[in-house]
Chain A
C-alpha cells in the first residue's frame, strides 16, 4: 500500500505520516501542492491519496479533478484532509468524486475511521 500525502505545511504532512504509520501504512511519500503531486501520481503507482485543499499552485480540489479526469488515475481513492469547512465546498468535493472528507482539526480516531471506511468500500 503506497500512499501520497499532499499538504503545503510540512508539519501537517509529518503528522499525517505518523498517524498513517501507526495504522500500519509505512510506505508514504510527500508533495507540497497539486503541481508536484500530479506527476508523482502519474509515474509512482500510488494506491491512495491524502490531500489538503488550500495550497499555493494547484489546489487539492483541482488535483482531485485532474485525478478523476486521468484514465490511469480515475479510480484512485482520495481522502481530503482540510480546514475548508464551507458546506458548498464539501458538496463540490463530493461532486468532484472525493472518497472521504476530514475537516481540520481532526483526531487520529477520525482519520483511522475514514481511511478504513474507504478501504472497506473498495474491497
Chain B
C-alpha cells in the first residue's frame, strides 16, 4: 500500500499532458516492437526521451522561479518602519550576536568591579566588628582597665562612623550591580530576533531541499551521501543543552564525581 501511494504521488507531480503523451507513445512502442518495425520503435524511444527532457526543463523552470521567490523572500524589502527596524536587526545577525557577547561581557566585568570594590570593605567591617565584640565581652566581664575602656570608647565611636560610610558605599555598589543587569532586556530582544531569523532560514532551506528532491525525482538521480565525520570531542564541543534527557552527558557535578569514582578516582 505504501509503495502504491508513492507511485500515485509521482504521477501527480508530473504534468497530465506529459503522462498522457508517455502512455500513448509507450503503447505505440509495444505495438511497433510486436509488429517488428524496429526503426519506428527507435524513433519512438527518442520521442519518449524528448518528452522526459521537456518535462524536466519545465520542472527546472518551475524550480528556478520558486528558488528566485525564496531568495527574494530572504531579502524582504521593508514595507513599513516596523519591518525596516526588524530587518536592520536581522540583516547582520552575527554582528548582533557579537553585540550580545560584548554587552554580557561588559555587564559581567562591571559587576565584578563593584563586587571587588565591596568585598574588602565588607571583610574589614566583619574583622573590626569581631574584635570589638571580643573587647566588649572583656568589658562585660569587668576585665578592662579604665585606660583600655577609654581606648575602646573611642574605637567604637570610629567604628560607628566607618560602619555608616562603608554600609552606605556597599549599598551603592549593590544598587549599581542591580542596574548592570539591564543588559538582559537588550540582549534578550536581540537573541529573540536572531532566533526568528534562524527559524525563517530553516524553513526556506527546507523548501530548497524539497525542490531539489523534485529534480532528483525527475532525473532519477541518486546521491551517494558521504557519512558525516563524527564530531570530535577532543577539541571540546561546549555546553550541552538538555543534558537531563541525554545518556552520554553528565547532568551535573554529582554525575562527574560518580563517573570519576567509578574510574578509581
Question: Which residues of chain A have a CB within 8 Å of any CB of chain B?
Answer: 9-11, 14-15, 18, 53-55, 59-62, 82-92, 94, 101-104, 106, 110
- CB-based nearest B residue for A107: B253
Segment with Cβ contacts to A, from B185-193, B209-217, B229-237: B229-237
Instruction: Decide: A59 near B116, CB < 8 A? Known: A11-B108, A85-B250, A103-B250.
Output: no
14 of the cross-chain contacts (CB-CB < 8 Å) are A14-B112, A18-B116, A54-B235, A54-B237, A55-B236, A82-B236, A83-B240, A86-B240, A87-B248, A89-B233, A89-B237, A90-B250, A90-B259, A101-B260
**Residues of A close to B250: CB separation below 8 A:** 85-87, 90, 103
**Residues of A close to B108: CB separation below 8 A:** 11
**Residues of B close to A18: CB separation below 8 A:** 112, 115-116
**Residues of A close to B116: CB separation below 8 A:** 18
**Residues of B close to A101: CB separation below 8 A:** 256, 260
Query: CA–CA, A59 to B238, complex, Å?
Result: 12
**Residues of A close to B234: CB separation below 8 A:** 59, 61-62, 92
Within 8 A of A (CB), among B216-265: 233-240, 243, 248-250, 252-253, 256, 259-260, 263, 265
Q: How far is the CB of B265 from chain A (nearest CB, A)?
A: 7
* Max chain A C-beta neighbours (<10 A), residue from B109, B112, B236: B236
Instruction: Decide: A94 near B265, CB < 8 A? Known: A18-B116, A103-B253.
Output: yes
**Residues of A close to B263: CB separation below 8 A:** 91, 94
**Residues of B close to A90: CB separation below 8 A:** 250, 256, 259-260
Instruction: Decide: A85 near B243, CB < 8 A? Known: A54-B236, A59-B235.
Output: yes
**Residues of A close to B238: CB separation below 8 A:** 54, 83-84
Number of chain B residues whose Cβ lies closer than 8 Å to a Cβ of chain A: 25
- CB-based nearest A residue for B257: A101
**Residues of A close to B235: CB separation below 8 A:** 54, 59
B105 within 8 A of A: yes
- CB-based nearest A residue for B107: A11
Instruction: Decide: A11 near B248, CB < 8 A? Known: A59-B234, A90-B256, A91-B263.
Output: no
Instruction: Decide: A86 near B112, CB < 8 A? Known: A53-B236, A94-B263.
Output: no
- Is A60 in contact with B236, judged by CB distance below 8 angstroms? yes
Query: CA–CA, A87 to B252, complex, Å?
Result: 11
Within 8 A of A (CB), among B130-189: none
**Residues of B close to A11: CB separation below 8 A:** 105, 108-109, 112
- Is B239 in contact with A86, judged by CB distance below 8 angstroms? no
- CB-based nearest B residue for A101: B256
- Is A110 in contact with B253, judged by CB distance below 8 angstroms? yes
The 8 closest A-B pairs by CB, nearest first: A54-B236, A83-B239, A11-B108, A53-B236, A85-B240, A85-B250, A89-B233, A85-B249
Query: CA–CA, A62 to B238, complex, Å?
Result: 16
Q: How far is the CB of B170 from chain A (nearest CB, A)?
A: 17
- Is A84 in contact with B256, judged by CB distance below 8 angstroms? no
- Is A61 in contact with B236, judged by CB distance below 8 angstroms? yes
**Residues of A close to B112: CB separation below 8 A:** 11, 14-15, 18
A-B contact sample (11 more), CB < 8 A, given A54-B235, A86-B233, A92-B234: A53-B236, A54-B236, A54-B237, A61-B234, A82-B236, A85-B256, A86-B249, A89-B237, A90-B260, A94-B263, A103-B252
**Residues of B close to A103: CB separation below 8 A:** 250, 252-253, 256
Q: How far is the CB of B249 from chain A (nearest CB, A)?
A: 5
Query: CA–CA, A89 to B239, complex, Å?
Result: 12
Query: Given A10, A54, A60, A86, which contacts B248 in the complex, CB threshold below 8 Å?
Result: A86
